Amino acid sequence: MRTITAFAGLTATVFGFAVVVDRGLAGLFDLNYLIVTLVGALALVQGVRYGLSRRKTPLHATTTDDPELRYHVPVPGDEVDMEFASERSFGRAQKREKVRDRLREAALETLVGYGGLTREEAQKRLNEGTWTDDALAAAALHESPRRPSVVTRIRAMFRTESAFERSARHVVDELVAIQEGRR
């Protein structure tokens, strides 16, 4: 079958080149409805044959290894986030005091490192609340912060974050501003 198909294809190709060279050869065949139909049927049979032979071809695919797992590098402040996440549990006052001490130490280091102050001067400013213009941030690290007004406490009841979270956020924002040279 292969030999017959190859011979028919070779003959048709040679005849096609001969027709291109001498157009008079094309007039030997009358291209009526029957010949066009036969050529179409032959093309359809060939298409089906190639399609069926393609179905029998085995598929080859490349298998890839599992992607590498990324190493989780701890982000500074993750522990503080965990403290805030568990803030409403038992031992809340101790956790808040621990976070407050860490913020106070970070403020001391920032004022000494970026503010050009000695450790004693920075300690004095933190105790007096004069280390920043943000009253909320200053009160958060003040030795004995004054009690917020009634209006401020009522507003705090309608916020999604606690007063402690809000004041800690203000402290961190102020420290970042000092470190970036905006204060």
90-124 pLDDT, tens digit per residue, is 566 777 788 888 888 888 888 888 888 888 998 88
Query: Nearest 5°: phi and psi at 135?
Result: -65, -35
pLDDT in tens, 152-164: 677 767 777 777 7
Which is more confidently placed, 3 or 84?
Answer: 3
Residue 88, pLDDT > 60, answer: no
Q: What's the predicted TM-score (pTM) here?
A: 0.50
pLDDT in tens, 61-76: 778 877 776 776 666 6
Q: Where are the domains of the chain?
A: 2-51, 88-179
CA distance linking residue 80 with residue 170, whole number of Å? 14
> Reduced to 3 states, what is the DSSP secondary structure of residue 65?
coil
Cα–Cα separations (whole angstroms), residue 113 to 52, 122, 173, 177, 182? 77, 10, 17, 13, 15
Confidence (pLDDT) at 81:
57
